[in-house]
Amino acid sequence: MRNLMLAFLVAAPLAACSDARSDTAGWEAENPVVALPEPPLGVADNVSWRKLEAQQGLKVTPEKVRLGRWLFFDPRLSKDGTVSCATCHRPENAFSEPLPTSKGIGGQVGTRKAPPIVNAAFPIEPVYFWDGRAKTLAEQAKGPIENPIEMGGTHVLCVKSVAAIAGYRKVFAQVYGDEEPTIDRIADAIAAFEATLFSGNSAWDRYQNEDDATIDPEVKLGAELFHGKAQCNQCHLGFNFTDSRFHNLGVGWDPAAKAYKDEGRRKVTGKAEDLAAFKTPTLRDVTRHAPYMHDGSIATLEEVVELYDRGGEPGAANLSPKIRPLDLTEDEKKAIVAFLEALSGDSDNKGVVPRSLPE
Ligand code: HEC
Ligand code: HEC
């Protein structure tokens, strides 16, 4: 994916030269401002741009989204120019990645899995990161830029790199009234772009919303189990299948050390009850970004269902009281997996990759 993007970057200046009569640089003409996307079936009723502005102070406009898209895909925001947000949040993986933990600058490996970024601006309650330490998308976006093993820079350095690119200065002036790319504006534009990333119109949405839609009987059984016998909807609820809360399933428990590798939400709140609790992830597009969980330790959806059937990791400390053995039959487990598969949306997100970057 990175190679593909580099190919675009190399191709862009050539395209610009061949169109010398136009005042608009190639990178601008190739990435026109487009209308905000229509939120898809199953999601649309929960999307309110006005509510987003009230809740997170985030105003989303087509011009700002174009800027945020460029910044999201631009490796020049990182210390050595090699890592962009999209290195770890890849369009084809619902803006997650198919790796247990992320590789950032200089190939350094982190300890947590990159979460997907779909429908992320419209949660029941805005909390970002696995441990919920950021309260808005814009606040979140500032984190990776100065994370030593993600993009490895500082906010000052990032602002400097962006300010050195004439094309960005022009676009910041268009969006914010003057040329200055402050870190708050960079984060604001990236957040606006992220707010337009949706996952919906899944087989399950069509079945729920369209009179003549049919669904595989196995998926239907899976849905009944999900909302009934297995009680998955205690935590995976609402249109995005998450309660925006934190729970401990015993993932990451080390039975030999009798300890967790990652203390999760407790690090943020200091509360014992939050030990190794993590944010309930969305289940939309869940087929697109295995492996699963905050540490990417579970390879398949079948194994995830096995974990729940066992009642979480046996012997683990501080397990959620909502987790208990489920006594599912093999057919029931398969049906739950079929239901999870039916939650994948109809977009592979290829359309959001910019054709070229500002120069
Ligand atoms: C080196 C890989 C890497 C890079 C680069 C990276 N991220 Fe992430 N991202 C992660 C990981 C890992 C997490 C989870 C970290 C945690 O929860 O502590 C995360 C979490 C997030 C979340 C939270 C999602 C949620 O549901 O809570 C968002 C949003 C996000 N990143 C956006 C971005 C943006 C914007 C950029 C670029 C400025 C970026 N990321 C760069 C790996 C990366
Ligand atoms: C007590 C709340 C709770 C219940 C009940 C629950 N989940 Fe989860 N689910 C979570 C949390 C929290 C995580 C992330 C845990 C972690 O990473 O440590 C998760 C993770 C997952 C994942 C991995 C997603 C990803 O992106 O990594 C899947 C799939 C999943 N749950 C499906 C289910 C199914 C199916 C059921 C019912 C059998 C269920 N969940 C019941 C809270 C819950």
pLDDT at position 326, please? 98
Closest ligand to C-alpha of residue 292 is 2
- The pLDDT of 224-229, averaged and rounded, is 98
Burial of 90 (0-12, 13-18, 19+ CB in 10 A): buried
Plot region of 311 (φ>0 → left; ψ -120 to 50 → alpha; else → beta): left
Q: Is 128 in the pocket of ligand 1 (CB under 6 A)?
A: yes
Instruction: Encode burial over 235-259: b for 16+ CB neighbours within 10 A, e otherwise.
Output: bbbebbbbbbbbbbbbbbbeeeeee
Atom of ligand 1 nearest to the CA of 104: 1
Whether the predicted pLDDT of 21 surpasses 80 = no
**Cα-to-centroid distance, 144 and ligand 1 (Å):** 6
Atom of ligand 2 nearest to the CA of 308: 38
Terminus-to-terminus CA distance in the chain, angstroms? 21
Model confidence at 24, in pLDDT bands (50, 70, 90)?
Answer: confident
Atom of ligand 2 nearest to the CA of 264: 18
Q: Is 278 in the pocket of ligand 2 (CB under 6 A)?
A: yes
**Ligand 1 site-directed mutation target among 88, 122, 137, 139, most atoms within 8 Å of CB:** 88
pLDDT in tens, 295-341: 999 999 999 999 999 999 999 999 999 999 999 999 999 999 999 99
Cα gap 117→355, rounded to integer Å: 21
Q: Is 280 in the pocket of ligand 2 (CB under 6 A)?
A: yes
**Cα-to-centroid distance, 197 and ligand 2 (Å):** 22
pLDDT in tens, 193-204: 999 999 999 999
Sign of the torsion angle spanned by Cα atoms 248, 253, 258, 264: negative
Cα gap 297→331, rounded to integer Å: 24
Ligand 1, atom 10, residue with closest C-alpha: 114
Plot region of 101 (φ>0 → left; ψ -120 to 50 → alpha; else → beta): beta
Q: Is 294 in the pocket of ligand 2 (CB under 6 A)?
A: yes
pLDDT in tens, 79-104: 999 999 999 999 999 999 999 999 89
**Cα-to-centroid distance, 281 and ligand 2 (Å):** 7
Ligand 1, atom 43, residue with closest C-alpha: 88
Nearest to 5 by CA among 96, 123, 87: 87
309, 328 contact by CB (below 8 A): yes
Sign of the torsion angle spanned by Cα atoms 183, 56, 144, 189: negative
Average pLDDT, the chain: 93
- The pLDDT of 140-155, averaged and rounded, is 94
Q: Is 264 in the pocket of ligand 1 (CB under 6 A)?
A: no
**Cα-to-centroid distance, 297 and ligand 2 (Å):** 13
